[in-house]
Amino acid sequence: MKLKFLIICLIFIVTLFPAYGSTTTSKNVDNSMPKGNLPGWKQVFADNFNGQYVPVGKFSDCDHNAMDPKNAYCNGLPEPQKSIWWAYPHGWPDTAKKRKYPLGGIYNPEETISIEPLPNGDGVMKIKMFNNGGENQVAAVVPKKIAGSKYGRYVIRFKAETTPGYKLAWLQWPDDNNSCPGCEIDFPELELDDNISAFMHHKGDPDGKKQDAFDTGQPYGVWHTAVTEWSPEKVRFILDGKEVGTSEGSKVPDQPMSWIIQSESALNGEQAAPNSSATIWITWVAAYEYTGE
């Protein structure tokens, strides 16, 4: 009788206080942030945002050493976040705006990025893109400790609202475009109302038209763990513990790149509705240097 009563109480507690996003969390992936090294990889960075609170407005004054992601900083951020994170400065155009699409956006870290606790105690980096009735207000954040690395393993757990007119393009981008023309690795990428995909752009193709593309068939609206493993002449893309594609050979980038967690305007012709918004939650990130062991 006591055991039956205990089971009923436990069911009641789980129902009353569900984990954030628990109904949509992948069942085969551990939600806890990975810690420690792996064969061939040395962990150099991890952040689960637990116990942190950085309100909207603190990711400000980010135009310091902006051409050097490893040493760039947002002067409005408190420590330790100031030493860990950087964001594209206010006013930089996103990809759609650079291409002169009908509706593009500008990076606006002050109004789009925060770090805050959830009801279950987990911390998240929250990115809320929005349309202000004119152009889109978007965000790109950079983990500084893995910036400028040649090869790496990049892991991120996230969930995003499937609002039309916005997209993710979380990528590895060369610190010096001239040293590695065409080099770019994108995962996850595509519009938020589309499936998550991965793209490996071929080294030596400055037009960016040659690429390997992999469609995961998975939507953005649930929790996912995405892994990009970039090593000599090989890039692997893994979503929720399942490999979704591999690129190999001399087309793989081989120069230092930085991890840009870039969220921006759609590029598929969709336009964000006036006064719309799209929120992204990141509950942890981890990054590794390649050791080749």
DSSP state of 64: B
Q: How far apart are the C-alpha atoms of 245 and 59, rounded to whole Å? A: 35
Six-digit token string for 196: 């998550």
| Of 267, 260, 279, 280, nearest in space to 97 by CA | 267
Query: pLDDT (tens digit, 9 = 90+) per residue, 27-68?
Result: 444 568 999 999 999 999 999 999 999 999 999 999 999 999
Q: How far apart are the C-alpha atoms of 254 and 170, rounded to whole Å? A: 19
Query: pLDDT (tens digit, 9 = 90+) per residue, 133-183?
Result: 999 999 999 999 999 999 999 999 999 999 999 999 999 999 887 888 899
What CATH number matches the domain at 29-290, 3.30.365.10, 2.60.120.200, 3.40.50.2020, 3.30.930.10? 2.60.120.200
Q: How far apart are the C-alpha atoms of 107 and 60, rounded to whole Å? A: 11
User: C-alpha angle 27/30/34, rounded to 5°?
Assistant: 160
Neighbours of 246 (CB within 10 A): 15
288 pairs with which residues across the strands?
A: 43, 153
DSSP state of 4: H
Q: Which residues contact 14 (CB under 8 A, 6 or more apart)?
A: none
Q: Is the pLDDT of residue 19 over 90?
A: no
Q: How far apart are the C-alpha atoms of 51 and 167, rounded to whole Å? A: 29
Contact 262, 87 (CB under 8 A): no
Q: What percent of the chain has pLDDT over 70?
A: 89
- Helix, strand counts (H, E) of the chain: 4, 16
| Of 281, 277, 283, nearest in space to 111 by CA | 277
Query: pLDDT (tens digit, 9 = 90+) per residue, 80-103?
Result: 999 999 999 999 999 999 999 999
Six-digit token string for 49: 């945002």
Q: How far apart are the C-alpha atoms of 61 and 70, rounded to whole Å? A: 16
At residue 25 the predicted structure's pLDDT band, cuts being 50, 70 and 90, is very low
Q: How far apart are the C-alpha atoms of 179 and 162, rounded to whole Å? A: 36
Say whether the peptide bond before residue 188 is cis (omega within 30 degrees of 0): yes
Six-digit token string for 202: 């071929």
What per-residue confidence (pLDDT) applies to 30?
A: 53
